Chain A
Amino acid sequence: MFPLGIEPYLVGGVLIGLGVSLVYIFTGLHATQSSFFTTTLSWFSKFGKFQGEKELTERDWRLALALGVVSGAIIYTFTLSPTGIWITGVALWRLALGGLLVGFGTRLSNGCTSGHGISGLASLSRTSLYAVITFMAVGILTAHLLAFLGVV
Chain B
Amino acid sequence: MNARNIVVYLGGILFGFGLAYSGMTKQEIVLSFLRLDDLGLIFVMGAAAAITFVAINIVPKFMKRPVLGGVFKPRVSELTKNTIIGAAIFGVGWGISGQCPGSAIASLGTGNWPVIIGIATIFIGAYLRGRFINN
Secondary structure type dominating chain A contacts: helix
A128 CA to B28 CA in the complex, in Å?
A: 26
Q: Using CB atoms and an 8 Å cutoff, list the residues of chain B in contact with chain A.
A: 1, 4-29, 31, 34-57, 59, 63, 65-79, 82-115, 117-131, 133
Within 8 A of B (CB), among A62-112: 64-77, 80-81, 84-90, 92, 94-112
Q: Using CB atoms and an 8 Å cutoff, list the residues of chain A in contact with chain B.
A: 1-4, 6, 8-34, 36-38, 40-41, 45, 47, 49-50, 60-61, 64-77, 80-81, 84-90, 92, 94-128, 130-132, 134-147
A-B contact pairs, 18 of them (CB 8 A): A19-B11, A22-B10, A27-B4, A28-B71, A31-B15, A40-B123, A72-B17, A73-B20, A86-B112, A95-B99, A97-B121, A98-B121, A99-B122, A113-B100, A130-B84, A137-B91, A139-B94, A140-B36
Cross-chain contact A106 with B86 (CB below 8 angstroms): yes
Given the contacts A73-B107, A134-B84, A135-B88, A103 and B129 also touching, CB distance less than 8 Å? yes
Extra contacts besides A17-B55, A95-B27, A95-B97 (5): CB < 8 Å = A22-B11, A23-B11, A85-B112, A102-B104, A112-B101
